[in-house]
Amino acid sequence: MKARKKIIVAAVIALTGGVVMTSASANTADELVSPMDQTDISAIKSLSSTELAKLNLKLRRAMALYYDNSYQLALPLFQQIAASIETQDVLYWLGKTAY
């Protein structure tokens, strides 16, 4: 259970703009997220560990492609991420990549 909490917190950090936390509890992550993203954070918590790992990997790939100026390759990944988790930060990167 402790490992799952850490994965959830890592996913919350990754999907909400890299918020740095001092605690690995999901309650702390909730307090640091804007009210608009609360619904999606609940969706993140309901994902299995495998789904969270896949989502995190997809986000890492998308960000790596973006910073390598491979916007055409990063765009479909951001679209897939935004289809499952629509946080403000994910939508920001989707728009930034599409632009």
What residues does each domain of the chain span? 2-98
pTM attached to this predicted model: 0.61
- SS3 assignment for the chain: CHHHHHHHHHHHHHHCCCCCCCCCCHHHHHHCCCHHHHHHHHHHHHCCHHHHHHHHHHHHHHHHHHHCCCHHHHHHHHHHHHHHCCCHHHHHHHHHHHC
Model confidence over 68-93: pLDDT tens digits?
999 999 999 999 998 888 778 888 88
Model confidence over 24-79: pLDDT tens digits?
444 555 555 566 566 667 777 787 888 888 988 999 999 999 999 999 999 999 99
